[in-house]
Amino acid sequence: MNACYRKILIIGGIGICSLSAYAQQKPLHIKDVLTLVQSSLPQMKAYEEQAKSSQYNVKLAKNTLLPDLNIGYQAGYATYNNITGMSYPGFMLPISGPPSAGNIYDPVPGTAAGAIVKWNPLTFGQRSAAIEKATAQYKLANSTYNDALFRQQYATISVYLDAIYLQKLMQTYQANIKRTTTGLQQSLVFTREGLRPGIDTTQFQSALAQAKTDLLIVQRQYYAQLAELSRLTGLPDLPENLLLADTTLLSQLPQVADTTAGPSANPVYQYYQVKKEVTETSLKEVNRIWRPKLDLWANAYARGSGVGADGSVDKADGWSLSRKNYGAGVQISFPILQFSEVQLKKRQYSAMLKADEAQLDQVRLNLQKQKETARYSFDQNILITKQAVIQSQAARFAYDGLTLSYASGLIDFTRLIQGQYDLLKAETGEAAAYLQTWRALLDIAIANGRLTTFTDNLK
């Protein structure tokens, strides 16, 4: 059983986990979760393998330089008429034989075996265009992986920040429960001595129940965030077995963030940049469709026919492969009537290229404005956090004074509990201010495309 849950049972199901209850849990740093996302998450492995698979398209495009060699054997029965010229299409080059004087439908055997070579050593730039396109598609697959990894790591850090904020709130609410419990004990003493009315005790009991309820709600949210964190990182550990180690974030301010970096390092920008490159290489490939094709071929085969040159029938000879032949040649072809099709495709891909260029410009603009907004938010949150610290300290001093005043009979329960609420609000506000400052720094890191902008501030 988890140490925190044992603590809950011991104190009667109130649901309060003291800090010592986390001693046996697994410490988890932000840098650890970034590594886990990359190495352990199945979704990232899927993107990685997809990128690897696209690399083979480059090798396949280069592999077209090799000649194509096929060997095979055919046997069959067909009518007497022109038996030597009948073969299954697609492998044997067409051959001719002696026609018969008339239609004779008696079946006779015919066989053929051979090897055919086809080679395209010269493609007039078509092969190089195909290789360039496959290379660009491979780069696009890699950029897709990098973008997905970057987004996943961002989501993980975001959840981690929410979780440590909730962890800080749990500590704050525990302190609030302790203050309320102390007030309840004092009121019991004062009531017995007749210094305070019994209603104060009842009000303290109600406030204590509310404080415990608030803590339970935060605990529920905290464990939900830990469950989400374990999902995002692929961790097999149960949420209650994780302990967030970078808790000092909510007590220190980060250094000034660098916002001078250009968009070139951002995975989103890189994705659209490579996407434009794929369109460019596709357009180049289309431009080279309307070029000649040069084929070198060679064929060697042997055949047998159940019909002799004089028209006699010898079925045994049909199985013997008695005639041997070979041939070689060159063919050059030009797609004359594809001119219109090529022109339409060129216009199509030219329009796509203009769209990609405009989209890339929009991404550049978005990242720049995102960085400006994040930097302004970062600067403002630094100032807000400093004021929140001052407010929290003042509220703590005020509460200490109100506690003494209540013990001296100078103020009533309402004034004391209001001061206690103000302190709780100031403490949670301070934690939220620190959280928002680090979130603004994370937004700058995202706009920069470098998570090191954020992680380098961790201590």
For the stretch 95-104, pLDDT in tens is 555 555 666 6
Q: Say yes or no to pLDDT of 266 above 80.
A: yes
0.75 surpassed by pTM: yes
Q: Tell me: do 71 and 55 sit in the same domain.
A: no
Q: What is the 3-state secondary structure (H, E, C) of 377-400?
A: HHHHHHHHHHHHHHHHHHHHHHHH
Q: Please give the pLDDT value at position 89.
A: 63
- CA atoms 218, 222, 224, 225: torsion sign: positive
Q: Please give the pLDDT value at position 406.
A: 83
Q: Please give the pLDDT value at position 104.
A: 66
Q: Give the pLDDT confidence of 74-94 residue by residue, as tens digits.
A: 777 776 665 555 566 666 666
Q: What's the pLDDT band for 396 if we cut at 50, 70, 90?
A: very high
Q: Tell me: do 174 and 255 sit in the same domain.
A: yes
Q: Please give the pLDDT value at position 15.
A: 45
Q: Please give the pLDDT value at position 149.
A: 93
Q: Give the pLDDT confidence of 195-247 residue by residue, as tens digits.
A: 566 688 888 899 999 999 999 999 999 999 999 999 998 888 778 888 888 88
Residue with the bigger pLDDT between 274 and 296: it is: 274
What gap in Å lies between CA 18 and CA 4, rounded to an integer? 7
Q: Tell me: do 52 and 74 sit in the same domain.
A: no
Q: What's the pLDDT band for 335 if we cut at 50, 70, 90?
A: confident
Residue with the bigger pLDDT between 6 and 4: it is: 4
What gap in Å lies between CA 37 and CA 26, rounded to an integer? 17
C-alpha pair distances (Å), 409 with each of 83, 145, 180, 311, 398 = 122, 67, 17, 133, 16
Q: Say yes or no to pLDDT of 129 above 70.
A: yes
Q: Tell me: do 309 and 444 sit in the same domain.
A: no
Kindly report which listed range (18-27, 155-164, 399-408, 412-421) carries the lowest average pLDDT score. 18-27
Q: What's the pLDDT band for 14 if we cut at 50, 70, 90?
A: very low
Q: Please give the pLDDT value at position 91.
A: 62
Residue with the bigger pLDDT between 418 and 315: it is: 418
Task: Indicate whether 286 belongs to any domain.
Answer: no
Q: Tell me: do 144 and 261 sit in the same domain.
A: yes
Q: What's the pLDDT band for 20 if we cut at 50, 70, 90?
A: very low
Q: What's the pLDDT band for 161 if we cut at 50, 70, 90?
A: very high
DSSP structural state of residue 2: -
Q: Tell me: do 189 and 147 sit in the same domain.
A: yes
- CA atoms 174, 175, 176, 181: torsion sign: positive
Look over the chain and give the mean of its residue pLDDT values, rounded to a whole number: 84
Q: Say yes or no to pLDDT of 12 above 60.
A: no
Q: Tell me: do 199 and 255 sit in the same domain.
A: yes
C-alpha pair distances (Å), 63 with each of 68, 131, 261 = 10, 10, 41
Task: Indicate whether 102 belongs to any domain.
Answer: yes
Q: Are 117 and 47 in contact (CB under 8 A)?
A: no
**Domain carrying residue 49:** 23-61+127-281+363-455
Kindly report which listed range (9-18, 145-154, 210-219, 235-244) carries the lowest average pLDDT score. 9-18
Q: What's the pLDDT band for 300 if we cut at 50, 70, 90?
A: confident
Count, residues in the chain? 459
Query: Could you please report the per-residue DSSP string of 57-96?
Result: HHHHHHHTTSPEEEEEEEEEEEESTTGGG---TTTSPP--
Q: Tell me: do 189 and 247 sit in the same domain.
A: yes
Q: Tell me: do 195 and 160 sit in the same domain.
A: yes
Q: Tell me: do 203 and 219 sit in the same domain.
A: yes
Task: Indicate whether 50 belongs to any domain.
Answer: yes
Q: Please give the pLDDT value at position 153.
A: 93
Average pLDDT over residues 159-168: 95
Task: Indicate whether 6 belongs to any domain.
Answer: no
Q: Please give the pLDDT value at position 8.
A: 36
Q: Tell me: do 377 and 327 sit in the same domain.
A: no
Q: Tell me: do 36 and 139 sit in the same domain.
A: yes
Q: Please give the pLDDT value at position 90.
A: 63
The residue written with tokens 């004391």 in the block is 416
Maximum average pLDDT range among 34-43, 174-183, 325-334: 174-183
Task: Indicate whether 237 belongs to any domain.
Answer: yes
The total number of structural domains that make up the chain: 2
β-strand partners of 324: 302
Count Cβ atoms within 10 A of the Cβ of residue 431 and give its class: 0-12 exposed, 13-18 middle, 19 or more buried: buried
Task: Indicate whether 135 belongs to any domain.
Answer: yes
Q: Write the CATH number for 377.
A: 1.20.1600.10
CA atoms within 13 Å, Cβ hemisphere of 157: 25
Among residues of the chain, what percentage have pLDDT more than 70?
87
